[in-house]
Structure formats: structure tokens, C-alpha cells
Amino acid sequence: MAGARPNFVKVAPLIRAIEKSNEASYMLVYAGREDDPSLESTLFDDLQMPRPEVYLGVDSVSLNDITSRVMAAFDDLLEHHPADVVIVVDDLASTMAAAIVTKKRGLKLAHLVAGTRSFDMKMPKEVNRLVIDALSDYLFTAGVRSNSVATREQAEGSGTYMVGNILMDTLRFNHQRLHKPDLDIDEGRYLVFTLNRKALLADEAKLDQLLQAMTASAADMPIIAPLRGLARDAVQRLGGKGIHIIDSLPYLEFGWLTAHACGIITDSGNVAEEATFNGVPCITLNSYTEHQETVSTGSNVLVGEDPQRLAEAVSKMVAGEWKKSALPDRWDGRTAERIVRILLED
């Protein structure tokens, strides 16, 4: 089950692997509405995957409301469409809701991207992660650190498997299909800025400081910002010389934009992972990351919400003075294949 747009990027290779096996069938379920504005019209064609068979139609912004409504709708779905295994992705409220319903029905539960932790119980997603991992029969982790957490916390009878980063399956599959958006930019001569984290958007004074630090240290290099919704409104309201706000891009165009940038400033873990895959310098506006390998091995640097650290990092980025990086273990594009093999063999 997918709960938000980014989940489909991780589900796509899993579907290909299931279809290739010829040993199992599946039903793709989306917690949201069929007309969800975050699902651009090109998404499923870009990912070369089918659209969901079922839309639960939940569109609330209240986390507790999302949880209760997804639980009711997903329970009804399983009543009419029994399953052997339910695979849930990441750490959303809808993911947790589906996980709870699955175990209440006595079904096997698999958690894709298990073992990620911020160790901050004030974050709703951290609560979701703990609940989902505790309930799961299969904990599929992306890296060594996540594997260690999942193994330490796993419930009796469950199994932890370091299968690798499934996002890399999608990146490798689509690497030759990326194409340049209709923008007047030169490869390697622009920065990309993305913003989504609600806590940062809520603190406009801090966000303004970060925007000013970023633009002041960019040395006249254009900053391309594909933004939507609250993030777009906030950046437009606060302004910032050198930030070129554009509409959100289709998957293949956004992938080209980030792969050919001089550097990326983001608060997204997925974007930081893609930057490491492409060897593009990346700054994350957070003091932690659930995917530590992007920092320890990859091209990612954490600056928290410190304007001074951000300015210093951007200056190094545009000057070409970035650290060396490499691909973490099992970023080989075979994660989905491993997952399907484990599920079928069991």
C-alpha cells in the first residue's frame, strides 16, 4: 500500500519484480484520492508502472483522522480481497494504519524501508516507525545502521533483511530516460532547492534567515526551486534574490534537474539519496538523517537550521570544494528482486 506520492517511486520496482517472478499476484492500493493533485498526470507513465487498482479516498490533514479513516477503509478492502502478505512503505500515518489493520486480521506484514529512526519522539513519523516495525513480520532495511536498529527491536518471529535501497532500483531503471526540463540552464551551473518539512515552514523567521544565507553565498549562481503548496507560498512571501521558483516537475524532468546540478539544498531524505547516487553535492537542512549512509559514504552534509553553517556549505559547494563520495553498500538496483525472493521462499 502507498500513502503518498514518494511511495510510488519505491513501489514501482517492486511491482516489476513481482510481475517478472510469475509466482504471485498483487493489488496496488493508494490511501488518497484518485484526483490527488500531488500525483501529476505523467507520474505513472514516467515510472512505467500501473495506476492503483484501489483508492481509499482519504484526504484529511489531521493525522489522527487519516489513521482512523484508512483503518476503516483498508479493513473493508481486506474483508473483500484477502491477502497473504501486505507490504507497506515508509512511515506515514496511513502506513501505520494499514499495518495495524493487517495484524489485527492475522496477516503477514512486510515493512519496506524499515529500521529508520530519528530518535525524536516529538515527531509523529517516529511513532509510526516504531509501531510499524514492532508489528512487521518482514523488516526490509536499506543500510547497515537501519539493519542494526531493526534487528535490535524486532519482535519475536519477525525477520530483518538488509535488502538495500529500493530507490536505487528506480534511479537505475530510469537513468537513461531522464530528460531536460524546458528551462534556460547550463549543466553544472545552477543549484536546486527543495523544501517540504512542515516544522521548518512553520518557523518563518528561521526560514527567512536560511533563505538569505543561501542566496547570499550562492555567488550569483541561479537557484532553481521546484515548489508547490505551502512551500511555494512561503518562499514567494519571504522572497530571496536569486531563487527562481518554478512549478513542480514531472519525475523524469526533476531527476535530470538534480542529476546535472552543481549542488542541491533540500530537507528531503529521498532527494539526498538521489544526490548521493548521482555524486552531486547535497546540503540537508536538518540536524539528522534517517539514511546516515548518505552522510558517512555519500555526498550529503547536514547543516541543521543554522544559517552560518548553511552559508559556509553553499560557498564550498559553488567553489567545487566538496568532499569525495561513493555509493553505499547494496545500492545496486537489485533490492526489489531480493524482497520478492524472500517473500516467495517463505
pLDDT of 152 above 90: no
pLDDT at position 149 over 90: no
pTM: 0.92
* DSSP state, residue 115: S
| Cell digits of residue 179 | 530528460
Which residues have CB under 8 Å from 2's CB, separation 6+? 8, 11, 28, 29, 30, 31, 52, 89
> In the predicted model, what is the mean pLDDT of residues 255-269?
97
310 within 8 A of 303, measured Cβ to Cβ: yes
Q: Tell me the average pLDDT across 176-182.
A: 97
Among the residue ranges 156-160, 249-253, 264-268, 275-279, the one predicted with the least confidence is 156-160
Which pLDDT score is estimated for 160? 95
Interval 198-218 mean pLDDT: 94
The CA distance from 209 to 211, in Å, is 6
pLDDT of 22 over the 90 cut: yes
Mean pLDDT of 148-160: 79
pLDDT digits (tens, 9 = 90+) for 230-257: 999 999 999 767 899 999 999 999 999 9
Measure CA 231 to chain center: 17
Confidence band of 323 (pLDDT split at 50, 70, 90): very high
The single-letter DSSP state of residue 248 is P
Q: What is the pLDDT of residues 291-307, one digit of tens each?
A: 899 999 999 999 999 99
Q: Is residue 262 a contact partner of residue 268, using CB atoms and an 8 Å limit?
A: no
Q: What pLDDT score was predicted for residue 120?
A: 86
- Cα angle 81, 56, 1 (rounded to 5 degrees) comes to 65
Element counts in the chain: helices (H) and strands (E): 15, 12
End-to-end CA distance of the chain: give it in Å, rounded.
20
Report the pLDDT value the prediction gives residue 157, as an integer from 0 to 100: 67
The pLDDT of residue 143 is 82
Give the pLDDT mean for 313-336: 96
Is residue 127 within 8 Å of 92, Cβ to Cβ? no
Arithmetic mean of pLDDT over the chain:
95
